[in-house]
Amino acid sequence: MSESVVLKNGECEQREPEWHVLQSAEARQELKAKEPLSEDEVRQRLARHGPNALPEARAKGPWARLGRQLKNFLIYVLAGAAVITASLGHWVDAGVILAVVVIQTLVGFVQEGKAEQALSAIRHMLAPKARVMRSDGQHQIDAANLVPGDTVLLEPGDRVPADLRLEKSHNLKIDEAILTGESEAVDKSTGSVAPDAPLGDQSGMAFSGTMVATGTGRGVVVRTGARTEIGRISGLLAQTTTLKTPLLEQMDRFARILSIIVIAAGIAIFVGGAAFSGLPFRELFMAVVGLTVAAIPEGLPAILTITLAIGVRQMARRQAVVRRMPVIETLGAVSVICSDKTGTLTRNEMMVTRAVLSGVQLEVTGEGYDLDGAVNAENGHPSDSTLLDELARAAALCNDAHVHHDSGRIRIAGDPMEAALSVFARKAGFDVDGSAADWPRKDEIPFDTENRFMATLNHDHHGHSVIYLKGAPERILDMCNSEVAESGETSELRRDFWERVITEMASDGLRVLALARKPAERGSGELAIEDLEQGAELLGLVGLLDPPRQEAIRAIAECHEAGIRVKMITGDHGITAGAIARKLGLKNTGRVLTGKELDQLDDDQLRDLVGEVDVFARTSPEHKLRLVTALQALHGVVAMTGDGVNDAPALKRADVGIAMGVKGSEAAREASSVVLLDDNFASIAAAVREGRTVYTNLKKGIAFMLPINGGESISLVTALLLGLTLPISALQILWVNMVSSVVLAMTLAFEPAEPDVMKHPPRGRNESLLRGFVVWRVVFVSLLFLGGIFAAWYWAMHHHGDESTARTLAVNTLVAMEMFYLFAVRYLDSASITLRGVLGTPIVLLAVAAVIALQLLFTYTPWFNDTFGTQALSVEMLGFAAVSGVVVLVILEIETVVRRRWLRAGPG
């Protein structure tokens, strides 16, 4: 596998070592990285090796994008029509049709560009992360900034960020299916293997792109970017996200079927007309072109895509990044949100406020992670006992977090709860930085949500070994037979007493943790879970405060008002969970269901109960999957949060899987459809609100565009069937559809949320948008437009007897009706004639002003008059158009009132 490596600057480096054959220390030597790298070294290495990223598959260039626009059915029809009209010598008509082809292509080109921009912004927000040790401590960085020689830490659910030579591993198993196709996760160790070992057998290596299934590990980066194994195979990063949702696909299908029907009808009308009507060929041909253009909603896909792109951007602004596009629609229908507690509903800024040892209660003073504070006995005096020292030592040594205080700023690295324990140990007088070195760690059992404890094996320089344990109190109590008294003596464990203390602390909303120790044999070097079943000595309990997020309290109230149930699913103690749930304002807090109780229920029993209970405690990730399934069986549309690798099945199963961007694992992020950049519950509520808004805006876009096509095409068909002159010419229809309607409809994509968007219950799981109300509105408004067009035509003919004037008025009347309809469509379910409705959003007023200006050009300038066959209108006529618009608005206002009454009374 040796080969020479060409560096970025074109220089050649000597042959690359066979990393899997070297011992990890030798690998470090080769990499000239005996110690974790400093910022300076990293900068130099980054300049030499380039970023740790695969080259992105080149975004499709503008030409490809342009080409895609031309693959459009309507464009073919229009191009065909242009050729035929040109061959007949109607140059103006051909020119206008070609201009429309150009506009249509450009609009598609620009909107697709916007959508691509929105998506690429999101991709960058979701850049993979890596946990790295540098000379100044542990950091979470963008994986792109890793360099050869860096020290990377691995945890379950991490995607390995570069090729690593492992130097530490604990029960580490890695899923290498992506590289080797082997679906079972393989055991990893730190040993070296024979030079000819295949990839799957190189147990001392962890390869970029593979996924940590269990255990923990540490390794030194040996290859980055395109030089990694995965980089050599695939070379490019696939980018497949597109802005497609079920609704858009439904609309595409609808438009395609409609186009086929319209063209078939066009041909039939043309043939029938030529045979029977005696109309001149040109007129008949243009009538059919007009009908085709009138009936096909050509502007609609652009409007819907832009609406989605804006929705995606808005959500990202609210810290919710959409990974799978269809979820934008589902978000608006969410009826249950199942949320983790720690860090999502609470702040995850923990502080130990109480400690209980051997029956003595101690209060801990101070603020957050600040070191100022003390551990005081009940009389207020600082406590000072050997037992407290031992408790503090356990808290500091059985701990992976780092707390740095530099120039007044506090930085924590690692688990916030462990950071709080480290601060507590310092307040209790333990010299965390100094004394920890006297007790190096030999081995550890890392915390996992299944076991709910962590253990470390430490030994001092005289060879004494001791195991320190910390974890969920009932779990630790199970391992203890005795407890340590203040004197240092051990006595029999008073289990009832400690359980009472735990209940008392948990009722105050404290997260309770037990700390214990177990003597180990001199010089023993390995730790196994089986060794810890019995024989530990309880040191004491600590209670941590993790205050609820204020914004979560508000967001929960908002969700309740919006008919969304919020459920808390936590690994914490039942009583603590209940107390926090009450502070957060959750609904059913009287009954807390624990993981153990859940295990005793079968699926039917769980389904009967799950609607009644809002707090689930001491749960494991498998419980989440059962809960999602049970809630879905009750027809809920379920959003579920998760962070660990084991949460992936539940995240996938949920209608909206939401991963935590900060503390979540890569596995959870990949299984989810939304990633929260700030892990905050309030962002979920905001995303639901955005989801509802996007869905309503899509509905408004459809309800606005389709009646225009409907009104126009029914008018033309009616005229053709009755043998009348067309009230609007083909070119004029092109003008209305490609200019006025698109400008007006575009504003709907920017429409802000209606004020009551979170005041009504979520829509039903299977509620289709293209039914009921929208279909009714499309038909009803199409008929209103039909009435308006013919009224204008006849009124003008009656007063002037001139066809081009009558057509010009018909077009202006249609556009006026559209403008007023835009105001009606903005508030589908409430009154539109209000100050807010009339003033609208600035962009609506801007669009209306633009359309009025365009219509004036269309009506009064000679060039437009010649091109589109229009005539200047009298003021009286303009008045007619405006009044028609007002009439449409008033009729729709009455329709809304009647419909709401009818709905309230219940249909039937």
Whole-angstrom Cα distance, residue 685 to residue 682? 5
Contact 12, 48 (CB under 8 A): no
Cβ proximity to ligand ATP: between 219 and 471 the closer is 471
Cβ proximity to ligand ATP: between 420 and 726 the closer is 420
330 near ligand ATP (CB under 6 A): no
Report strand pairing: 336-339 vs 186-187: unpaired
Catalytic option among 93, 150, 175, 340: 340
165 near ligand ATP (CB under 6 A): no
417 near ligand ATP (CB under 6 A): yes
Scanning 54-62, 414-422, 742-750, 839-847 for contacts with ligand ATP by CB under 6 A, the matching segment is 414-422
595's enclosing H/E stretch is helix 595-600
Tokens matching residue 738: 């490609």
Cβ proximity to ligand ATP: between 439 and 453 the closer is 453
Q: Number of H helices and number of E strands within the chain? A: 32, 29
655 near ligand ATP (CB under 6 A): no
701 near ligand ATP (CB under 6 A): no
594 near ligand ATP (CB under 6 A): no
517 near ligand ATP (CB under 6 A): no
341 near ligand ATP (CB under 6 A): yes
One-letter amino acid at 879 equals G
Scanning 290-298, 444-452, 759-767, 822-830 for contacts with ligand ATP by CB under 6 A, the matching segment is 444-452
570 near ligand ATP (CB under 6 A): yes
Active site residue 340: yes
Contact 312, 328 (CB under 8 A): yes
Among 454, 555, 676, 781, binds ligand ATP (CB under 6 A): 454
Neighbour-count burial of 462, counting CB atoms closer than 10 A to its CB (0-12 exposed, 13-18 middle, 19+ buried): exposed
Cβ proximity to ligand ATP: between 163 and 448 the closer is 448
SS3 49: helix
Whole-angstrom Cα distance, residue 635 to residue 649? 19
855 near ligand ATP (CB under 6 A): no
Contact 299, 106 (CB under 8 A): no
Among 45, 131, 318, 511, binds ligand ATP (CB under 6 A): 511
572 near ligand ATP (CB under 6 A): yes
340 near ligand ATP (CB under 6 A): yes
Among 369, 430, 439, 447, binds ligand ATP (CB under 6 A): 447
821's enclosing H/E stretch is helix 803-826
Interface mask toward ligand ATP for 342-361; x: CB under 6 A: x-------------------
HSE of 456, CA atoms in CB hemisphere, 13 A:
17
Measured distance between the N- and C-terminal CA atoms of the chain, rounded to whole angstroms? 77
Neighbour-count burial of 530, counting CB atoms closer than 10 A to its CB (0-12 exposed, 13-18 middle, 19+ buried): exposed
427 near ligand ATP (CB under 6 A): no
Which residues make beta-bridge pairs with 701? none
DSSP string computed for 266-298: HHHHHHHHHHHT---HHHHHHHHHHHHHHHS-T
Scanning 119-127, 437-445, 566-574, 706-714 for contacts with ligand ATP by CB under 6 A, the matching segment is 566-574
Whole-angstrom Cα distance, residue 54 to residue 710? 50
Q: How far is the CB of 303 from ligand ATP (least distance, A)?
A: 41
Locus of tokens 């290596």: 205
Cβ proximity to ligand ATP: between 159 and 511 the closer is 511
**753 phi/psi in degrees, rounded to 5:** -60, 145
Q: How far is the CB of 513 from ligand ATP (least distance, A)?
A: 5
Q: How far is CA 109 from CA 20, 61, 71, in A?
A: 50, 11, 12
163 near ligand ATP (CB under 6 A): no
| Residue 404 DSSP one-character state | E
Cβ proximity to ligand ATP: between 333 and 472 the closer is 472
Report strand pairing: 129-134 vs 151-154: antiparallel
Cβ proximity to ligand ATP: between 221 and 419 the closer is 419
Cβ proximity to ligand ATP: between 473 and 707 the closer is 473
Among 418, 537, 558, 647, binds ligand ATP (CB under 6 A): 418
| Residue 679 DSSP one-character state | -
Among 452, 624, 626, 700, binds ligand ATP (CB under 6 A): 452
Among 513, 656, 757, 824, binds ligand ATP (CB under 6 A): 513
Scanning 53-61, 336-344, 430-438, 735-743 for contacts with ligand ATP by CB under 6 A, the matching segment is 336-344
Give the residue closest to ligand ATP by C-beta: 571
Nearest one of 710, 734, 742, 738 to 869, comparing CA atoms? 734
What residues are labeled active site?
Answer: 340
Which residues contact ligand ATP by CB under 6 A? Answer: 340-342, 415, 417-418, 447, 449, 452-454, 470-472, 511, 513, 570-572
